[in-house]
Structure 1
């Protein structure tokens, strides 16, 4: 819940739309830098697809969560987790999906 605050204090809560917006921006940043993450991918299997798999997972997660129509950050995080898990690419996508499980 938001607490009453002066204009100079940061909000102490987050709603579903804000959470979605935050991860939408993160997905855009990952889209710009997925190739860098791919080049870093040398362990345990140097297949160079971690950035791509993370990006696919995030895009599928956003697609699924965009249909959630909820104001609750917790419910949005749950929708994100469901979309990320169902749309996860590779091991990195499954691991990334667990971030959303932890938030939900």
Structure 2
């Protein structure tokens, strides 16, 4: 039986998107650098994009790890539940902001 594609957006989708974006930018990083694009034509746009998404992905992973650690110790949400979409999106945005500096 064919799998039905996911039709909702949740914290796991944010986590998956971060991972896929990081992989894609890792593959395209040098090519993007060579384009020498905006905002400053200094040949490191691909690297900057990669580092920003890497920071965002790490922040999202930290949310999942923290949630798992809290559930294992009996603190926080019940075992088997994950972070909320808001938790993951907040972490991704904050991580991207830190990575862009």
**TM-score calculated relative to the size of structure 2:** 0.69
What 5-or-longer segments of structure 1 have no aligned partner? Answer: 1-6, 90-104
Structure number with the bigger relative contact order (C-alpha 8 A, sep ≥ 6) is: 2
What 5-or-longer segments of structure 2 have no aligned partner? Answer: 65-81
1:54-65 correspondence to structure 2 within 5 Å: 54-65=49-60
d(CA) in 2 for partners of 1:33, 1:44? 18
Structure 1 residues 63 and 49: CA distance shift in structure 2, 3 A: same
For the pair shown, the structure with the greater C-alpha radius of gyration is: 2
Secondary structure at 1:47 match in 2: coil
Cα RMSD (Å): 2.0
Partner of 1:30: 25
Structure 1 residues 9 and 43: CA distance shift in structure 2, 3 A: closer
Structure 1 residues 8 and 25: CA distance shift in structure 2, 3 A: closer
Post-superposition CA distance 1:2-30 (Å, at most 9, x none): xxxxx786443122012211220111011
